[in-house]
Amino acid sequence: MPTERELAATIDHAILKPELTRADVDAELDIAAEWGVFSVCVRPSDIAYAVSRLAGTGVAVGTVIGFPHGTTSTAAKVAETRQALADGAAEVDMVVNIGALRSGFDDVVADDIRAVVEAASGHIVKVILETALLDDEQIERGSRLTEQGGADFVKTSTGFAGGGATIPHVSLMRATVGEGVQVKASGGVRSYADALAMLEAGATRLGTSGSAVILGEARRVDAGEESTGAVDSGSY
């Protein structure tokens, strides 16, 4: 069972809701710094600000590309990626071209991923499949195309498509890709129990806005207290 610190090192704290004000963003960045998560995943327009505010905390800043629908052109995704890196992002989470994947246009999907990977110039790239919109065959194929495109992670969900990570989908993705590709479970990871289950299924990174709930419970477990199984129903 991971310690609080070990669990924090798996978390990308999501700060992506479109309605968030600057004060809301500040509060979330402070949570990320307080709990020592691996990174925050912020809206593209918040990258430079987040980098500045988190300077010296050890929390990395990531962002999203083609978010949340994945339907922007490859050229637009490439431009977004380059701008994100210029603004200080350390990692990017791109949304796959979902319609192309569902249509069986594998070359289109792989080329889209590969172009973002090349634009990222060695920075970590995670590919969001949006598993709630896919069947198992499409999830397997999307995972293979993620690997073929040279990305570092295959990721379940944006959290904005009416469904999130599930244990069967995380397990399927882990079984499909080789050891060189990691799995990120995102969307609906709201409790300590959720986090442990996703890690057990094969995820190595977790996307959540429920970091304080998850890590607060991990701290109680570290202290020898019984897990409450509490869930923050408002978490992404």
Any catalytic annotation for residue 126? Answer: no
**Residue 178 main-chain phi, psi, to 5 deg:** -80, 180
| Cβ count near 101 (within 10 Å) | 23
Active site residue 77: no
Active-site residue identified among 93, 112, 152, 194:
93
> Residue 70's Cα: distance from chain center in Å?
14
Tokens of 88: 């200080």
C-alpha–C-alpha distance, residues 154 and 68, integer Å: 15
Chain center to CA of 225? 30
The catalytically annotated residue of 12, 112, 155, 194 is 155
Q: Is 155 a catalytic residue?
A: yes
3-state secondary structure of 192: helix
Instruction: Please check whether residue 153 is in contact with residue 184, taking contact to mean a CB–CB distance below 8 angstroms.
Output: yes
Asked whether 149 and 127 are in contact (CB, 8 A), the reply is yes
For residue 14, give the DSSP letter: E
Can you say whether the dihedral through the CA atoms of 119, 39, 172, 202 is positive or negative? positive
Buried b (16+ CB within 10 A) or exposed e, 151-184: bbbbbbbbbbbebbbbeebbbbbbebbeeebbbb
Catalytic residue among 12, 46, 126, 184: 184
Catalytic site residues?
93, 155, 184
